Amino acid sequence: MPVVHIPRHMRDASDGLARVEVSGTTLRAVFDDLGRGYPELKRLIFDDRGRIQGNLAIAINEIVTENNLLHRVEQSDEIHLVPAIGGGSG
């Protein structure tokens, strides 16, 4: 089953879990399954229009996707929720 890795700042919404096994063959299906067990976590991932939050990137097997929710997910995939890194010159 695919595994979603939860960043530390979101773990209150996943009952403290750092990893959650989910089912699904697309990113959308994976997040729908994740949301059934952890609805608050799903609310942290998506905005009110159903798009991935702008401060979050999704990586599948360490490759950042373009947030395409139709992206195919294999049973052995590792999905990472990657918080945006702020900063830069100011």
Q: Which domains does the chain have, with CATH numbers?
A: 3-83 (3.10.20.30)
Nearest to 45 by CA among 15, 19, 83: 83
**Residue in the structure block whose two tokens are 């991935």:** 52
Averaged pLDDT in 10-residue chunks for the chain of 90 residues:
96 97 96 97 94 92 86 96 69
Residue 52, φ and ψ in degrees, nearest 5: -65, 135
Residue 84 pLDDT: 78
Residue 89 pLDDT: 54
Nearest to 33 by CA among 44, 24, 41, 46: 24
Alpha carbons 38 and 70: distance in angstroms, whole number? 21
Amino acid at 69: L
